[in-house]
Amino acid sequence: MAKREIPEINAGSMADIAFLLLIFFLVTTTMDKDQAYVRNIPKRVEVPPENLPEVEQRNIFAIRANSKNQLMVRTELMQDPDDISERVIEFYTTNENKNILTNNFPMYSRISMTEIESALTAAIQDAEEVENTPNAMSEIIEFKWRIVDEWNKKKRSLQLYGKKELPEIHAQAHIRIEVQIATEYELFAKIQSELEEAIFELRDKAAKDAFNEAYSTITRRYSMDKDKLDKEKIDLMKILYPDRFIEVTPKK
Amino acid sequence: MSKFKKEDKKGAPGVNTSSLPDIVFMLLFFFMVATTSKESDPTVSVKQPEGIRTTDMTPYKQRSEIDFLYLGKPINPARAEKYAAQGMEYLLFMDNVAQPNPDDLYNTNAIRRWKLDKFESKPARMSEPIESVITCIKADKGAPSGMIFDIRKELQEIEALTVAYAVRDNGNI
């Protein structure tokens, strides 16, 4: 029998098949990223602690929203939620350079390097003392060392900041979000958005002043290569403008 | 005698298309690789509110350190009616869980079990403690904030202490 030639397969429709698949994936691909505001939930406490120090009114920045989605920021009724961020910035910056006792904004303390250093040595001494006490609770030791860490952080921050003093907002100063059960999530998210905007703006300005760099540039670079210097820069910004948000559980 | 040959009438030569499949395949592979499939399709409809200065959740997703929780109106009209009669307009949907009883998943009571199940089913190399495994709440614009706090309370009970409120970043500022 004569040798028959094997006919070549026509590959002309290969492209069509590939196109079909391509179009399927093109259509089903969603490029949207998941974006969110990350928050921490406080730990549950079994017994509520007693004799807590009273928080001064000037240190509270309360944002209240009722079930009709009406807003109240501190003592002012607010129509437009876009104004929240301005008020937050005002809250942080009014007394930043000079404490004025008569206004209703949180006080700042300005600590110098010598003060930080003496506090640091005192903290180390204290921690070592507790460590050497027989049957000291491990939590307390841990807690004391955490204080030492904090002072170390402050010391490093002031070095980076390059000024004589490190301004620090009152430890009690915080922002609280009080919503009611029926408040729409849209408004709740808007409040979060405004807070984030305000904090970002403050930190961004500080970062530009101190390092001539945008805050977002630093955080982005840090997320990529975990550089130690960037971490310290971010720590400084967090000391200058801490984000202490409290979300109050609505009452039934 | 002219020096130049008169061109004979010729049609345009056909373009060689034999490498077209290669190009198309290249594109195809790109999209196949870039596609991330959703873990599961939520059975509630969620229209997210907008916000700015958000955190991108993609790195957490890649490390599976995030669980998604949806809060919206049920898509299925029969189900919507059934729950609306009980005064529950907005329902929960939890991602990716073995569900013995589908209705069970619409309750806040099921959050604990869901979260712990997911946490335990993670491979051992993911040593992230439960406190820092994010629970991302994707809630509808109109959802009542009270439900967000119900969820928070459940998470607090099991010490899953990181939440994220999902929004759509309009990022034009």
ipTM: 0.81
Q: Which residue of B has its CA nearest to A15?
A: B21
Extract the tokens encoding A24. 């399927």
Q: Which range (A89-93, A201-205, B1-5, B96-100) has the least confidence?
A: B96-100
Tracing tokens 């007394």 back to the chain, one arrives at A95
Residue A3 lies in a domain: no
Provide the domain limits for residue A250.
55-107+170-252
Inform me whether the pLDDT recorded for B94 exceeds 90. Answer: no
Residue B106 lies in a domain: yes
From the list A99, A101, A214, the residue with the least C-alpha distance to A167 is: A99
Cβ of B35 within 8 Å of Cβ of A28? The answer is yes
Q: Residues A177, A70: one domain?
A: yes
Residue A34 lies in a domain: no
Number of structural domains (chain B) is 1
Q: Which residues in chain A are closer than 8 Å to B158, comparing Cβ atoms?
A: none
Distance from CA of A110 to the nearest CA of B (A): 29
**Diameter over CA atoms, chain B:** 102
Q: How many pairs of residues across A and B have Cβ atoms under 8 Å apart?
A: 160
Cβ of A29 within 8 Å of Cβ of B51? The answer is no
Among A41, A193, A249, select the one facing B161 at the smallest CB separation.
A41
From the list B167, B161, B35, B165, the residue with the least C-alpha distance to A42 is: B161
pLDDT at position A188 is 94
Q: Residues A157, A133: one domain?
A: yes
Determine what percent of chain A is predicted with pLDDT higher than 90.
Answer: 48
Distances (CA, A) of A15 to A6, A75, A79, A159, B27: 23, 68, 59, 63, 12
Extract the tokens encoding A146. 């955490």
Q: Helix A138-161 to helix A228-240 angle, to the nearest 10 degrees?
A: 90
Residue A225 lies in a domain: yes
Confidence of residue B169 (pLDDT cuts 50, 70, 90): confident
Determine what percent of chain B is predicted with pLDDT higher than 90.
Answer: 18
Better pLDDT: A30 or A131: A131
Q: Which range (A23-32, A71-80, A144-153, A205-214) has the least confidence?
A: A23-32
Tell me what the mean pLDDT of segment A70-76 comes to.
91
Residue B9 lies in a domain: no
Inform me whether the pLDDT recorded for A10 exceeds 90. Answer: no
Q: Residues A160, A87: one domain?
A: no
Rounded Cα distance, A210 and A107, in Å: 22
Cβ of A35 within 8 Å of Cβ of B28? The answer is no
Better pLDDT: B141 or A4: B141
Tell me what the mean pLDDT of segment B101-130 comes to.
76
pLDDT at position A2 is 64
Q: Helix A185-211 to helix A84-93 angle, to the nearest 10 degrees?
A: 40
- Specify whether the CB–CB gap between A175 and A88 falls below 8 A: yes
Number of structural domains (chain A) is 2
Among B52, B136, B165, select the one facing A197 at the smallest CB separation.
B52
* Residue A177: strand pairing partners: A63, A247
Cα(first)–Cα(last) distance of chain B, in Å? 75
Inform me whether the pLDDT recorded for B4 exceeds 80. Answer: no
Cβ of A189 within 8 Å of Cβ of B167? The answer is yes
From the list B35, B26, B39, the residue with the least C-alpha distance to A29 is: B35
Q: Helix A215-225 to helix A185-211 angle, to the nearest 10 degrees?
A: 90
Residue B118 lies in a domain: yes
Provide the domain limits for residue B96.
44-169
Among B27, B71, B144, select the one facing A182 at the smallest CB separation.
B144
Confidence of residue A200 (pLDDT cuts 50, 70, 90): very high
Q: Residues A100, A88: one domain?
A: yes
Rounded Cα distance, B45 and B79, in Å: 13
Q: Residues A155, A175: one domain?
A: no
Distances (CA, A) of A20 to A15, A17, B27, B88: 9, 5, 12, 44
Cβ of B53 within 8 Å of Cβ of A196? The answer is yes
Residue B140 lies in a domain: yes
Inform me whether the pLDDT recorded for A44 exceeds 90. Answer: no
Inform me whether the pLDDT recorded for A1 exceeds 70. Answer: no
Cβ of A249 within 8 Å of Cβ of B153? The answer is yes
Cβ of B145 within 8 Å of Cβ of A26? The answer is no
Q: Residues A74, A131: one domain?
A: no
Residue B22 parent element (H or E) = helix B20-34
Contacts of A183 (CB under 8 A, 6+ apart): A65, A66, A67, A69, A250, B144, B145, B146
Cβ of B53 within 8 Å of Cβ of A42? The answer is no
pLDDT at position B173 is 43
Question: What is the reported pTM?
Answer: 0.82
Residue B54 lies in a domain: yes
Cβ of A192 within 8 Å of Cβ of B134? The answer is no
Cβ of A196 within 8 Å of Cβ of B167? The answer is no
Q: Which residues in chain B are closer than 8 Å to A32, comparing Cβ atoms?
A: 168
Residue A230 lies in a domain: yes
Torsion of CA A81, A82, A84, A90, to 10 degrees: -160
Q: Which residue of B has its CA nearest to A199?
A: B53
Rounded Cα distance, A91 and A74, in Å: 10
Residue B10 lies in a domain: no
Residue B142 lies in a domain: yes
Interface probe with A: pick from B15, B56, B135, B167, most Cβ of A within 10 Å: B167
Q: Residues A232, A215: one domain?
A: yes
pLDDT at position A28 is 76
The dihedrals phi and psi of A150, each to the nearest 5 degrees, come to -60, -40
Better pLDDT: B38 or A163: A163
Among A25, A180, A189, select the one facing B35 at the smallest CB separation.
A25
Among A37, A196, A200, select the one facing B164 at the smallest CB separation.
A37
Q: Residues A115, A204: one domain?
A: no
